[in-house]
Structure 1
Amino acid sequence: MMKFTRKIDFQSHFLSPAYYEFLDSEGMEKPDGFPTPDWDLETQLEFMDTLGIGFAFLELSSPGLYTAQKEKTLRYVRRINEEAAEYVSRHPERLGFLGVLPLPHVEDSIREAVYALDTLHADGIGVLTNSGGVYLGDRRYDDLMKELNGRGALVVIHPAAPAVSIPNVCEDISIPAMEFFFETTRTFTNMVLMDTFARFPGIKWVVPHAGAFLSVLADRFESFSVMLRFDNPDRHADFMADMRHVYFDVAGFSEQKQVELLLKNVDSSHLLYGSDTPYTDIFACIGQTEALEQTKKLTYEQKQMIFTENALELVPRLKKITSLGGHNYAAGK
């Protein structure tokens, strides 16, 4: 039994009937070189109980819904958002959801974001690192960013397959195993270089998998950022400041090295729990979660913050949920 029983999960994936239908229509039997898992609402709740999760934000994973057929993308985006909202309506005390957008179509994405947030009452928006090869720092997204910034929206990033892959190099390892980490690192750096975080400071960004390689490369990247600012004082391009600004979920095998490194650059108030179910096998999720619960690299108070308290501050409506309120987040020290 998990010691901490009121975790709030920022990387909990769902696969609705429309999403399975979309994958089938695109001939994606093994997208990203990884088997598509089974998912249903009952199993979701069972996983949550097993892992001590009190509340989870349902989020679509990779692959996204981009196709060359715009109308098809729009149709499936709307269906999947409405299916997610219906799941939440059955268990509003335990589930929220992150609306999916038809990126890279900006005007359509603005309309869908408004619909998801205002009509379906999504808690935020989920976006992939790139959609159709367009990355999140791209200035073509500025109007969408303005809309989300004005709302102070929660926006959770998830990696996707890179826009360009190198063939015949690492074919025997799936894209999620390695390329997702490169992709997260690449996308965050792209957003730093495009001043995305500085220009839209109201957006509450969540970066996945403990920031991938960001902590390892932060000092190196910052040295180059200093040169960019020296050449053009109007640029923000502040790698370290942007790392401190965003939030990071700690999904994946983060306890072994990543969390300790991340805390050298980021305050523990900006770390959040993530399970990565069902793409990560439940037994692996148990092992990863137990590692976080038992690690000596974090204080008891930091664990409370990561599992529950930081999320309550980031998404204040969660404080109204009785099972998540208060400060007794664990069965005991």
Structure 2
Amino acid sequence: MTLRPFAGRPTSRRRLLGGSAAALGAAALSTTLPTAQAAPLRRQPPPTGNYRIDLHAHFLPPDYRASLLEHGHLTIGGYPTPQWSPEEALGFMDYYGIQAQALSVSDPGVSYLRGPEANDMARYCNTYAADLFRAHPTRFGAFAVLPMPDIAASITEAIFALDTLRLDGVVLLTAYDGVYLGDPRFEPLMIALNQRNAFVFVHPAAIPADAKPELPLPDFLEEFTFDTTRAATLMMVTGLTQRYPNIRFQLAHAGGTVPFLSHRISVASQTVLGDLWPDNLPKPSVLDIKNQISRFYYDTALSGSPAAMAATLAVTSRDHIVFGSDWPFSAATLPQTGSHDPAPGLSEIFDAEQRMDVEHHNPLRQLPRLADAVSG
């Protein structure tokens, strides 16, 4: 099947969704969104014990962190590149009642390298992760980093990481070299992941300085959420999430702004954008986009607030919400002092049983290898 971006133009960070935003801004169509399933706002006691399964947690193996610093990555998304060790991770987990973490490499992945260097660094990180969860089988899982944007090398590494190392899934950035997930050039990788029923964690990437406004704010504060929205939207409107139903996609930080913008996204094909829709792609309907939005998984990292969770519950069911801490990048907001609850805002939306679903049962349903290790 031949796919092409809208109107034959290359899909870049600015073009498709920048133009779409203008069209959507002119739309004034009325469609009813699902009713929020949140409980009344009131503080409720959380469960107790080490029960949480953390699906948004990062690691920086020593050689990888050294390489980042050597190549000038002193900050990640504007946050100083943190220290990390298994011992520090376990201490954090024990303090905050986290039974296990599914570790992933954050932005920039290994995309700051190219060729054999990128391949070797991805293999090093993935092998390090596999060794770590073999040493601590009930405490760690991992999502494989791939040597993107090299598609052929990434397919090779994904097959090795999932089939041989038995990692729990794959982490992909929202975009590589300005090209977002959903672009046709990623199709071969998606085919391989779909064949393996892969769980894919979509993590935001920093936007190049020449492609964003000059604001005195770090990327992780706002830009990361916007980039997740751009990637998720493109994945839906190009039909990627329809073509590969066996891939389960987790969107970081409660989907960025996807829940808030769900109505605007859903009416895209009914605006001027609909006239530019490629003939070889199905034009999504309002109900279709709603359905696709509801099928994403949304993590609570830096989003465990009543406002964020109420918006998320308005577009999906509770079983599609999973716990995330974003540690060690959240170390400043999650110091190991005071409360042992890493997301107290969740108790203003969920009771103890519902929090157990979000923080334990929902994550383990998606990661069968880790679920077996934890229960065994």
TM above 0.5 = yes
Flag the structure with more relative contact order, 1 or 2, with Cα contacts below 8 A and sequence separation at least 6: 2
Equivalent of residue 214 in structure 1, options 252, 258, 282: 258
Could you tell me whether the CA contact under 8 Å between 2:47 and 2:353 is conserved in 1? no
3-state SS in 1 of match to 2:80: coil
Is 2:75 the counterpart of 1:23?
A: no
Cα offsets for 1:90-112 (capped at 9, x unmatched): 10111111110011111100000
Cα offsets for 1:37-70 (capped at 9, x unmatched): 1110001011111111111101001122113632
Q: For the structure 1 residues 258 and 165, does the alpha-carbon distance in structure 2 shift closer, same or farther, using more than 3 Å as the test?
A: farther
Equivalent of residue 307 in structure 2, options 228, 235, 257: 257
Q: Distance in 2 between matches of 1:187 and 1:164?
A: 18
Q: Distance in 2 between matches of 1:68 and 1:319?
A: 34
C-alpha deviation, 1:130, in angstroms: 1.1
Q: Distance in 1 between matches of 2:89 and 2:112?
A: 28
Q: Distance in 2 between matches of 1:126 and 1:240?
A: 24
Could you tell me whether the CA contact under 8 Å between 1:253 and 1:288 is conserved in 2? no
Q: Distance in 2 between matches of 1:178 and 1:273?
A: 20
Q: Identical aligned pairs, as a percentage? A: 32
Q: For the structure 1 residues 301 and 229, does the alpha-carbon distance in structure 2 shift closer, same or farther, using more than 3 Å as the test?
A: farther
Amino acid at match of 2:124: R
2:32 alignment partner in structure 1: none
Q: For the structure 1 residues 287 and 191, does the alpha-carbon distance in structure 2 shift closer, same or farther, using more than 3 Å as the test?
A: farther
Could you tell me whether the CA contact under 8 Å between 2:96 and 2:340 is conserved in 1? no
Amino acid at match of 1:187: A
Q: For the structure 1 residues 288 and 158, does the alpha-carbon distance in structure 2 shift closer, same or farther, using more than 3 Å as the test?
A: farther
TM-score (norm 1): 0.89
TM-score (norm 2): 0.79
Equivalent of residue 299 in structure 1, options 317, 337, 351: 351
Q: For the structure 1 residues 20 and 288, does the alpha-carbon distance in structure 2 shift closer, same or farther, using more than 3 Å as the test?
A: same
2:21 alignment partner in structure 1: none
Root mean square deviation, CA, Å? 2.3
**Which deviates more, 278-287 or 156-165?**
278-287
Could you tell me whether the CA contact under 8 Å between 1:252 and 1:288 is conserved in 2? no
1:330 alignment partner in structure 2: none
C-alpha deviation, 1:215, in angstroms: 1.2
Counterparts in 2 of 1:167-182, with a 5 A limit?
169-170=214-215, 172-182=216-226
2:152 alignment partner in structure 1: 107
Q: For the structure 1 residues 287 and 169, does the alpha-carbon distance in structure 2 shift closer, same or farther, using more than 3 Å as the test?
A: farther
Q: Distance in 1 between matches of 2:368 and 2:122?
A: 27
Q: For the structure 1 residues 308 and 229, does the alpha-carbon distance in structure 2 shift closer, same or farther, using more than 3 Å as the test?
A: farther
Is 2:137 the counterpart of 1:92?
A: yes
Could you tell me whether the CA contact under 8 Å between 1:47 and 1:282 is conserved in 2? no
C-alpha deviation, 1:165, in angstroms: 4.5
Amino acid at match of 1:27: G
Q: For the structure 1 residues 185 and 116, does the alpha-carbon distance in structure 2 shift closer, same or farther, using more than 3 Å as the test?
A: same
- Count of matched residue pairs: 322
Could you tell me whether the CA contact under 8 Å between 1:77 and 1:100 is conserved in 2? yes
Instruction: Point out the structure with max Rg over C-alpha.
Output: 2
Q: For the structure 1 residues 282 and 86, does the alpha-carbon distance in structure 2 shift closer, same or farther, using more than 3 Å as the test?
A: farther
Q: Distance in 1 between matches of 2:113 and 2:102?
A: 29
Is 2:237 the counterpart of 1:193?
A: yes
Amino acid at match of 2:294: R
Q: Distance in 2 between matches of 1:115 and 1:319?
A: 21
